[in-house]
Structure 1
């Protein structure tokens, strides 16, 4: 796991941080942001149809530091990385785990979230897996192309059922079409607390660090985003957003 750098190691005082202008590669003063819109509490629509969530708030705060207007482009997780390569948006702010495989083709900001994947089972089930080894021979749901799918494949012997996104995994878990799901612990905790879904968390996987994803040919944008994230942490904006959604600072491993 990558370790976060302390603010003191990166800057000699928060007063020296100024607003970061956007690189010239962005046009019309807009930052196009790819996300699912169906992945609570990170990115989803509330009862009034308004896009909201932790990643939405972080994306808006980053855009503000860059002096850009945020423009959200919603897409299924299964096609979200391809959409970045096709220039449908400038960045993805959607809990994209930083992996060696992904870094071969896309760039990432410094990590802005640390979390742990968790096995999910239906509430009341007698099946209580403690680790991925306990999922062998079981039907386990995961989002297509996700880091969670790759971890399940690496474990071996698991009947992996892939879906466009987390919502479909949860739906089939509740109806009993799959034995378990595998997703972000922060998502699981939020759903259990806020939506009264008949699910429960079980064993944990390997911890992940999440970054804002962008194309490799835009180093100026990466540098500007990294500085914006540093500013948000230094001025307390990040901690306020994180505590609003999770009750704790999720920028720390």
Structure 2
């Protein structure tokens, strides 16, 4: 009798513990009153610190708007790209808003929102570059700089005969590009106009390379209410014009849609 009661009690406790672990992320976020958001903080114009040290950028404003739609406050963490996905998996934050491509491999570990940015990989070259560096064949034997662990790194590694060098973030490899230590870099096409406008580095946009990417917001698996809430927040932003306003501020167009000709 005692044995049966003990077993039943143990099973009940396991069920309660399992239910607690399976709580939807939306319930946790609402109870906490904050949405914990990770980004690099060194990736202009998406997310970076301005001259006063304040975190700003397109992704930051999108994340702040999503938090407002959820009725909670945004709480930001900045971390290097190389460890940002591992931090999400470890539960250090709820979401990453940092131009994360929703690849099949990443979907094995995380759930994703619907796409909120459509862009494509693009080469970055020195301003005085005269060599033909347009196709993967042109890049054979060349040094390519990319962010460690990024989808651009995977693209670069697929280019036959290229020497791929990985860096913690864009500032490091763009500096090496400008100084001639690498031949080209690869990054998001949306980054190039900002760099041309805001930095003094002698670099320019090169040729598009690879296929367009749909970037989305990753979070832990098994939270359907949270996914629905994030998707609704993004849809509402697009419907009420707030997304278009943020997008136009940073890119002069609606980046939720593919650019003409792509």
Both proteins in one fold, TM over 0.5: yes
What is the aligned partner in structure 2 of residue 198 from structure 1? 202
What is the aligned partner in structure 2 of residue 7 from structure 1? none
Deviation of 1:153 after TM superposition, in Å, equals 1.6
**Counterpart pick for 1:106 among 110, 113, 120:** 110
User: Could you report, residue by residue, the CA deviation over 1:38-65 in whole angstroms, capped at 9, with x for unpaired residues?
Assistant: 0000000111111100000000000000
Is structure 2 residue 232 aligned with structure 1 residue 227? yes
Kept in 2: contact 1:144–1:163 (CA 8 A): yes
For the pair shown, the structure with the greater C-alpha radius of gyration is 2
Deviation of 1:29 after TM superposition, in Å, equals 0.4
Structure 2 gaps of 5+ residues are 1-24
Deviation of 1:127 after TM superposition, in Å, equals 2.6
TM-score by length of 1: 0.89
Q: Which has the higher helix share?
A: 2
- Whole-Å Cα distance in 2 between the matches of residues 189 and 68 of structure 1? 33
- Whole-Å Cα distance in 1 between the matches of residues 142 and 41 of structure 2? 29
Kept in 2: contact 1:117–1:207 (CA 8 A): yes
Deviation of 1:156 after TM superposition, in Å, equals 2.4
Pairs aligned (count): 232
User: Could you report, residue by residue, the CA deviation over 1:59-92 in whole angstroms, capped at 9, with x for unpaired residues?
Assistant: 0000000011000000001111001001111000
Deviation of 1:181 after TM superposition, in Å, equals 0.3
**Counterpart pick for 1:25 among 25, 28, 33:** 28
- Aligned residues: CA RMSD: 1.2
Kept in 1: contact 2:175–2:201 (CA 8 A): no
- Whole-Å Cα distance in 2 between the matches of residues 127 and 38 of structure 1? 30
Is structure 2 residue 223 aligned with structure 1 residue 218? yes
- Whole-Å Cα distance in 1 between the matches of residues 158 and 108 of structure 2? 19
Deviation of 1:133 after TM superposition, in Å, equals 2.6
| DSSP-derived class of the 1:156 partner | coil
